[in-house]
Amino acid sequence: MDTKLRFSRRREHGYTMVELMVSITIALFLLAGLTTLVMHTRQSSTTQNQMAQLQDNERMAMTILTDVIQQAGYFPDPTQNNSAGLFPASSAPISTTPGSINFSLAGQAISGAGSGAPSDSIAVRFASPIAYATDTQNYLASSITSCAGTSIKDTTASHRYTNVFQVATVNNTTYLQCLLYQDDVFYKSYNLVPGLSSMQVLYGLAGGSDNNVTTYAAASGISGAQWQSVTSVKLRLYFQQPQYGFSGGQVQSSAPTTYVERVIPIMSQSGG
């Protein structure tokens, strides 16, 4: 009887302190591994979302710039060469962040400022389409749009619109910014796309009667009548990369960037 009682009491003994410590240590290792996996999965998902947003911003910025720049020099009546009257020489320059933009020539539809560092600005002028007396319900080329994305059209008289694109910092965020003017009177500024850190603009100059581009130059290298020879614009947009400031776990002194580039023909010059 005593033997059975002693054996029963030994079976009722719990885990020892060593066994508990080993079990807790193993559980902590497993929990740490699970936590690391969850954190990496979350970080990967965040980075993918940021990369998708970056691609959307790149696409949107380039689309807006393309839609407006290619319309430079548009005027509503193709039967009359009234561009000089619609686009007179400006009496005063337009002040922007990189510098002052001048339209020094009558008929000049495109201009710019800056030398590529840290950023350039570009301005284009075009006129709004109008409805003819014989066609009061429909507008000629009503797809003309401003940098704000709004359709521009008038019923009786055509107005001159100037769109100035530049990089601006607002509340510690850099934007592709547009300044909109109507008949040389400032209307409104628009912060269009965030994350744009720099914009470099080169202008394609035609060297002959066929309007083929023979050279590209920055705004600082173009003067006088050369602005009338601009037939295309080469844009390079620099955007801040997601998770900037870190690479391989090391803090970087400057934020890495990525860029997109496009050559935009000016339809009034290239016939596109």
Domain containing 266 equals 51-270
* Helix-then-strand count for the chain, H and E: 4, 13
Q: pLDDT tens digits for the chain (272 residues)?
A: 555 555 555 555 666 777 778 778 887 878 877 777 777 777 676 667 777 888 888 899 999 999 999 988 888 766 655 666 788 888 788 888 878 888 988 888 999 998 666 789 999 998 887 765 555 555 454 567 788 777 777 766 778 889 999 998 888 888 999 999 988 888 889 999 988 888 999 999 887 666 688 889 999 888 888 898 899 999 999 988 776 544 444 444 466 788 899 999 988 776 55
Q: 3-class DSSP state for residue 234?
A: strand
| Chain centroid, CA 28 distance in Å | 47
- How far apart CA 36 and CA 217 sit, in angstroms, is 52
Q: Is residue 31 part of a domain?
A: no
Got the DSSP string for 26-47? HHHHHHHHHHHHHHHHHHHHHH
Residue 63 placed within a domain? yes
Contact 157, 132 (CB under 8 A): no
Residue 1 domain-assigned (yes or no)? no
pLDDT averaged over the chain?
78
On whether residue 69 sits in a domain, the answer given is: yes
The answer to whether position 8 is within a domain reads no
pTM of the model: 0.76
CA–CA separation, 78 and 59 (whole Å)? 32
Residue 30 lies in a domain: no
Burial-class residue 97 by CB neighbours within 10 Å (0-12, 13-18, 19+): middle
The span from the CA of 184 to the CA of 141, in Å, is: 22
Per the domain annotation, does 207 fall within a domain?
yes
Question: Residue 88 falls within a domain, yes or no?
Answer: yes
The tally of domains found in the chain comes to 1
